[in-house]
A and B are shown apart, each in its own frame.
Chain A
Amino acid sequence: MLTIIGALALGFILGRQGWLGKAGVWVGQACTAGVVLLLFLIGAKIGSDAEITQALGTLGLEAALYAVTAIVGSLLAVKILERFLADRLEKGEGG
Chain B
Amino acid sequence: MIGLILLPLALGLMAGYLGLIPDGYSLRAEELISGVLLFVVFAVGVDLGRRKEAMRELVLLGPRAFLVPLSVAIGSVAGTALAGLALGLRWNEGAAIGAGFGWYSLSGVLITELHSVRLGTLAFLSNVFREALSIVVLPWVYRYLGKLAAVAPGGATTMDVTLPIVAKVAGKEVVLVAFASGFVLTLLVPVLVPLLIGIGS
Interface residues on chain B, number (Cβ under 8 Å): 95
Q: Which residues from chain A sit less than 8 Å from chain B, CB to CB?
A: 1, 3-4, 7-18, 20, 24, 27-28, 30-32, 34-49, 51-53, 55-56, 59-60, 62-82, 85, 95
Could you tell me if A31 and B71 are in contact, using CB atoms closer than 8 angstroms? no
Residue of A nearest to B102 (CB): A70
Could you tell me if B44 and A40 are in contact, using CB atoms closer than 8 angstroms? no
Could you tell me if A78 and B149 are in contact, using CB atoms closer than 8 angstroms? yes
Residue of A nearest to B186 (CB): A1
Give Cα A68 to B126, complex, Å: 9
* A-chain residues with CB within 8 Å of residue B44 when the two chains form the complex: 8, 11, 31
* A-chain residues with CB within 8 Å of residue B48 when the two chains form the complex: 8, 11-12, 15
Binding site of A, secondary structure by majority: helix, strand, loop or mixed? helix
20 A-B Cβ contacts within 8 A? A1-B186, A4-B159, A31-B44, A35-B165, A35-B168, A36-B4, A37-B8, A39-B12, A43-B14, A46-B16, A48-B25, A48-B29, A52-B124, A60-B125, A64-B126, A67-B129, A67-B133, A73-B76, A74-B72, A76-B79
Q: Does B196 touch A at the CB level, under 8 Å?
A: no
* A-chain residues with CB within 8 Å of residue B71 when the two chains form the complex: 74, 77-78, 80-81
Kindly name the residue among B8, B10, B75, B94 whose own CB sees the greatest number of chain A CB atoms within 10 A.
B75
Q: Which of B63-108 contact A (CB under 8 A)?
A: 64, 67-68, 71-80, 82-84, 87, 94, 97-98, 101
Could you tell me if A45 and B26 are in contact, using CB atoms closer than 8 angstroms? yes
* B-chain residues with CB within 8 Å of residue A60 when the two chains form the complex: 125
Q: Which residues from chain B sit less than 8 Å from chain A, CB to CB?
A: 4-5, 8-19, 21, 25-26, 29-30, 32-33, 36-50, 62, 64, 67-68, 71-80, 82-84, 87, 94, 97-98, 101, 118, 121-122, 124-135, 137, 141, 145-146, 148-149, 151-153, 155, 159-161, 163-165, 167-168, 175, 179, 183, 186
* A-chain residues with CB within 8 Å of residue B49 when the two chains form the complex: 11-17
Also in contact, A53 and B17, with CB within 8 A (given A28-B43, A44-B12): yes
Give Cα A8 to B8, complex, Å: 24
